[in-house]
Amino acid sequence: MMTMKQLERKLQRADQKQALLYLFCNFVSLLLITAYSAMMFSPTVLLILPQGGDSRKQLTAIFVLALFGCVVFTVYASGLFFRRKAAQLGTLMALGASRARLAPGVFREVLLLSGISSLLGIAAGFPFVFLLWNGFRLFIVDSQEMQLRLDYRCLAVSAVFFVLVAACCCLTAYRCLHRTNIIDIIHEEHKNEPVKTPGRWCGPAGIALMFFGAVLGYQAPGVYMQLFSAYPTALLNLLYAPVFVGLYMIMLHTVVHGWRTRRKKPCRSLIARSMMKFQGRQTVNNLIVSTVLIAGSAFAIFYLPMLGVSQILEVRARPFDYCYHYRMDQDILGQDEIAAKASQYGLSIKEFRSSPYLTLGHDSLVTVEEGRSFHLEHKDLAGSVKVLSASGFHALTGKSVTVRPGAYHIISTADETETYFYVTDITFLTNMATRGTIPVSFAGYVHYDFLAGPSGYYLISDADYEAISRGLTPDWRGTISFFKMDGADSYAFAQDFFHTLTTSFGPECEYGYYYDRVQKIAADEAGERYWGDTDQMTRLSYDNADASDFRLYWTYMPKIRILDQNDFLKTFAVYLMMFLFISIICTLAALIISYTRCMTITLNNRYVFDDLRRLGASPAFLRREVRSQAGSVFRIPVLVGMGAMYFLYVLIMLGNDGKLVLSELAGLAVCLCILLGMAAIYGVVYCYTVRRMYRALSL
Amino acid sequence: MLYIKNLHKSYQSGSKSYPVLKGVNLSVSSQEFIAVMGPSGSGKSTLLNCISCYIPFDEGSITLGGQTLKNLDADALARVRNEQLGFVFQDFMLLDGLTVRENVLVPRIIRDKVDAEANERADSLMSLFGIAHTADKYPAEISGGERQRAAVARSLINKPLILLADEPTGNLDSKSSRTVIEAFENARRQLGATIFMVTHDSCAASFCDRVILLQDGLVCDTLQKQNESQQAFQDRLLTAIKTMSSTK
């Protein structure tokens, strides 16, 4: 004698395929979310990516995107599951089963499916991270910082997501059971969700709106700060909203009209277009989510080439193999000692050049913050600059520059990028030992890439140099030296040189270039606490001389060509790993969503294909219809997502200094190649999906 | 046995309301075999769905076996559907994961009353409708006609007051349609079933005692079968339908 429970179990067994699809979708969502949050909240990553830094912000932004994508995907999966389930529930209700009779079984089933898939996803998330991380260490790069440490508090994100998944599914079940129209429940599976047909202007207007939104959102903070002398709140990011409206319009156009105008054969895509249009809402949602994930994936992967290419070009273009500088109160290797050390490695050095420099205080307009608002204020001791004399510059570089007394030049790169680091409104320089000053004014840039940078050098006349250096103590004086290797360099020597140099410095030099000694003195004199003495500042340690933050930020970090070339991956390993990981996660999610969408189209429209076959449609015709739909699902998100991110990157590059320099162009070219590679991956999955669709439709 | 008075039903689409039934009045006696015919959009299926308690109606009353179907809560309506109504859908609505026998027994399983008597009744119904040999097969393994006859057997398992059928032959060829209509006839003759069928098929309707013609949400004519041949009744039906169409 069959009971209701046994009946439900039998029906569940018959619906196994649908349940498996739901299980798979939830499993993937939870796996990706768990893996991402495990990575995001890993102490290893949090230690490397500075709090409030751009990398951390990018990471969080893409995390939010991925979270959004997974939420939409899960909601979609539960909707899909219930579309199939509805016919069964509707039939039982039509035959007299009350809600109270059906509810326990339905809720038991959805909670069981959601629970199992979520637990499996969460459990698989950690091995997934472990495999990916250690695969990266094994096959790409390993460094001492890459010891994977996980903070299991990240499980809170997965737990919240699991609750969301279960709640969403229970809500769908509740809504299904509480509908008053049983006929609607029975026909839920075949219910169309057509979208309103907009004009053909919709797509082009969407593209324009996306451009407009991107420019508006990107430029708005700058304009806001200029207008209101205050930092904008996060709400200003709402100005990016037109991007999403535009994206929706593009996808709507894709579903309703498509992008090919078939003037000669307007009926050619009629059937495929109609099929998509009548499931328009779901299709548009899916296309948007895929696009957002692909954009996130592209954004993450761009980080690597943009960083790498500029680094490679900069290192390759260096005129000397070695450059190091130090304070005169430190006991540091001189030319002879270096030559002796080099000979131990069978090497010899050549063209050793050296010049003294001074660290001086300067006046300037500085930004004084009061909460969110700020104002500019002139300060006599605004910060420090490293100053070379004209003759010192000549001794180092061989270049002659005429500097008139009372003028100062800034040494910048040839393309004058990153000039925002430099101070061009200095009116006097201060000897920090005697507090004597000399008046100066900005006289333009002198180009020498090797000496440029955030803690770069300024140039004054020999006479001014002589005058201001009088009475300056050794701790404010320094020496900068360049040299080349005679013949091939040795990595072992470079390592030895670097570590010997590092251990030669005293603890008074154990700080980053962002720690300004003049600002510290000014703050002390004003009775204020200097920010560099607070926890906001990243501490550096000689003990971790190979750590990325030490190599990136130490104020006396030497430039060593062979070391920078070989250790690039090591220095940036965590960054590379993190962004590569994000890209993989987003790509996987986008591929799975596109695949699931295509298979749903197949399942939902099977009867249409059967009817077409009965009407005499050839297999070739039906295959073309399949390809036409799958093509839109894959092609448009790839084009829009990747295109939008490429455009945004160009915008960012332009936003830095208003131009695209060689390294940026080269980086963008590499990004383009990577995009082509990613598109090829999508192409392969598209082909696989189409084959699965053919098989499902027996074509 | 079934009384419908001044039945109104409209559908909402956005802010617009589309009236489908505009005051239908009719009654059905016990053991009657009635068909409702009418052009598409005349409200046939809506009428049937209102009687079946599948959709709520706006105004009027439906009384089934002395019980008014208005203002019943969801559980009471479910009980009515299970115990007093049998329903045959156009697309069979058999549950794919269950065998034919299990499908026939579903209304009893819902009531938790699958006893020896239920099994015997299922067997006798399947024999009566000529599908006993399919008892252990799944719906996907049998023909359309067999599926519909299984649905008829399912609708009668709880000895309902009335069997409601929505285009029961709509998805079938003429041969299968014939077997389904014969199943209805057998049900009436041997089990004393009352049958209320919505159909477009004049041939199927010609088997009925009475045919109600519906147009624009109102009963516009009723044709009673006289002492005439089935073919003559069908011809009369066709003429009435033609007249109805031309006066529209």
**Paired strand residues for B7:** B24
Chain A residues in contact with B85 by the CB 8 A cut-off are 96
Facing residues of A323 across strands? A482, A559
Position A235 pLDDT exceeds 80:
yes
Mean pLDDT across A371-384: 90
The Cα–Cα gap between A540 and A546 comes to 11
B15: containing domain: 2-247
Q: Where are the alpha helices (DSSP H) in chain B?
A: 44-51, 74-83, 100-111, 116-128, 144-156, 174-191, 202-205, 230-247
CB-based contact A100 B75, cutoff 8 Å: yes
The per-residue pLDDT for range A607-623, each reduced to its tens digit, is: 788 888 888 888 888 88
Q: What DSSP string describes A330-374?
A: S----HHHHHHHHHHTT--EEEEEEEEEEEEEEEEEEEEEETTEE
Give A118→chain B minimum CA distance, Å. Answer: 27
Binary contact (A1, B115; C-beta < 8 A): yes
The encoded tokens of residue B119 equal: 């099994």
Indicate yes or no: CB of A95 within 8 angstroms of CB of B87: yes
Nearest C-alpha in A relative to B84: A96
Chains A and B form CB pairs within 8 A to the count of 87
Going from the C-alpha of A210 to that of each of A239, A244, A246, A281, the distances in angstroms are: 11, 7, 5, 20
What's the rounded Cα separation, in Å, for the pair A108 and A114?
A: 10
Contact B93 A181 (CB under 8 A): no
Looking at beta carbons, which residues of chain B come within 8 Å of A99? 74-75, 78
What pLDDT is attached to residue B17?
87
Residue A384 has pLDDT above 80, yes or no: yes
The answer to whether B166 and B198 are in contact (CB under 8 A) is: yes
Q: How many domains does chain B have?
A: 1
Do the beta carbons of residue A496 and residue A341 sit within 8 Å? Answer: yes
A89 CB neighbours in chain B (<8 A) are none
The predicted structure's pLDDT at residue B91: 84
Closest CA of chain B from A202, distance in Å = 24
Taking the C-alpha atoms of residue A250 and residue A209, their distance in angstroms, rounded to an integer, is 10
Q: In angstroms, what CA-CA distances link A263 with A108, A269, A683?
A: 54, 11, 28
Q: What pLDDT score does A135 carry?
A: 82
Give A-chain residues touching B96 at CB under 8 angstroms: 14
End-to-end Cα spacing for chain B: 32
User: Considering only CB atoms, which residues of chain A are within 8 Å of chain B?
Assistant: 1-4, 7, 10-15, 87-88, 91-101, 180-183, 186
Question: Nearest-CA distance from B110 to chain A in Å?
Answer: 6
- Measured CA to CA, the distance from residue B165 to residue B199 in angstroms comes to 8
Please say if the pLDDT value at position A54 is more than 80. no
> Mean pLDDT over residues A508-537, rounded?
87
Helix A99-139 × helix A16-40 angle, to 10°: 50
Distance from CA of A81 to the nearest CA of B (A): 16
Is the alpha carbon torsion for A466, A469, A471, A473 positive or negative? negative
Q: List A428's β-bridge partners, or say none.
A: A439
Please name the residue that has the structure tokens 């109805």.
B244
**By the CB < 8 Å criterion, does B232 face chain A?**
no
Neighbours of B190 (CB within 10 A): 10
For residue B82, the chain A residues in CB contact (below 8 A) are 95-97
- In 3D, which of A135, A162, A200 has the Cα closest to residue A580? A135
pLDDT over 70 (residue B111): yes
Using the beta-carbon criterion (under 8 Å), do B78 and A4 form an inter-chain contact? no
Do the chains contact at B110 and A88, CB–CB below 8 Å?
Answer: no
Q: Which residues contact B68 (CB under 8 A, 6 or more apart)?
A: B61, B62
Answer yes or no: is pLDDT of A265 > 60. Answer: yes
**A436-493: per-residue pLDDT in tens?**
999 999 999 999 988 888 778 999 999 999 999 999 999 999 999 999 998 888 889 9
- What integer best gives the mean pLDDT of chain A? 85
What are the angstrom distances between the C-alpha of A39 and each of A67, A116, A384? 14, 23, 38
**A537/B172 Cα distance (integer angstroms):** 80
Q: Find chain B residues with C-beta within 8 A of A1's C-beta.
A: 114-115
A385/A438 Cα distance (integer angstroms): 14
Kindly state the average pLDDT of the residues B80-105: 90
Strand order from edge to edge, sheet including B33-37:
B85-88, B162-166, B195-198, B33-37, B210-215, B218-224
Q: How high is the pLDDT of residue A583?
A: 86
- pLDDT, residue A536, reads 65
In the predicted model, what is the mean pLDDT of residues B190-217? 91
Residues linked to residue A641 through DSSP beta bridges, in sequence order: none
Rounded Cα distance between A3 and A335, Å, is 93
Residues forming beta bridges with residue A385, ordered by sequence position: A360
pLDDT above 90 for A421: no
Q: What is the pLDDT of residues A94-151, one digit of tens each?
A: 998 988 889 998 899 888 988 999 999 999 988 888 888 888 778 776 766 677 777 8
What distance in Å separates the CA atoms of residue B204 and residue B148, rounded to the nearest whole number? Answer: 14
| Inter-residue contact B169 to B199 (CB < 8 Å) | yes
Q: Indicate whether A196 pLDDT > 90.
A: no
Report the C-alpha gap between A350 and A345 in whole angstroms. 15
Using 50, 70 and 90 to split pLDDT, how confident is the model at A419? Answer: low
The pLDDT value recorded for residue A263 is: 59
Confirm or reject contact between B140 and chain A (CB < 8 A).
Answer: no
Retrieve residue A652's tokens.
Answer: 């960012």
Rounded to an integer, what distance in angstroms lies between the CA atom of residue A569 and that of residue A405? 45
Give the closest of A2, A91, A94 to B105, CB-based: A2
Both structure tokens of A217 = 């959102």
Contact B75 A98 (CB under 8 A): yes
Tell which of B52, B54, B85 to mutate to test the A interface (max A CBs under 10 Å): B54
pLDDT in tens, A269-320: 666 667 666 667 778 888 888 888 898 889 888 887 888 888 888 888 899 9
Q: With b meaning 16 or more CB within 10 Å and e meaning fewer, what string describes A514-544?
A: ebbbbbbebbeeeeeebebeeeebbebebee
Farthest-apart Cα atoms in chain A, separation: 108
B73 part of contact set with chain A, CB < 8 Å = no
Interior/surface letters A118-143, b for 16+ CB within 10 angstroms, e for the rest: beebbebbbebbeebbeebbeeebeb
Cross-chain Cβ contact A1/B75 below 8 Å:
no
- Choose among A218, A292, A312, A414: nearest CA to A670: A312
Residue to mutate among A95, A101, A181, A182, with most B CBs inside 10 A, is: A95
Q: Decide if B54 and A96 are in contact by the 8 Å CB cutoff.
A: no
Q: B142: closest CA among B197, B92, B108, B201? A: B92
Average pLDDT estimate for A677-699:
91
Residue range B131-183, pLDDT digits in tens: 999 999 999 899 988 999 999 999 999 889 999 999 888 888 888 888 888 88
DSSP string, A226-244: HHHSBPPPGGGGGGGHHHH
The identity of residue B123, as a single letter, is: D
Is the four-CA dihedral A465, A470, A476, A479 of positive or negative sign? positive
Integer Cα distance of A276 and A252 in angstroms: 10
Strand duo B162-166 + B195-198: pairing: parallel
B74 interfacial to chain A (CB closer than 8 Å): yes
Question: Angle at the Cα of A306 (from A305 to A312), degrees rounded to 5?
Answer: 75
Is B95 within 8 Å of A91 when comparing Cβ atoms? yes
Dihedral (CA of A81, A83, A84, A85) sign: positive
How close does chain B come to A2, measured CA to CA in Å?
7
pLDDT the model gives residue A261: 65
Contacts of A340 (CB under 8 A, 6+ apart): none
CB–CB of B74 and A99 under 8 A? Answer: yes
Measured from the Cβ of residue A408, the count of other Cβ atoms closer than 10 Å reads: 24
High-pLDDT (> 90) share of chain A, %: 30
Q: Is B43 within 8 Å of chain A by CB?
A: no
- Please report residues of A whose CB lies closer than 8 A to that of B74: 98-99
Phi and psi (nearest 5°) for A40? Answer: -60, -40
Q: What is the CATH number of the domain that holds B47?
A: 3.40.50.300
CB of B207 closer than 8 Å to CB of B184: yes
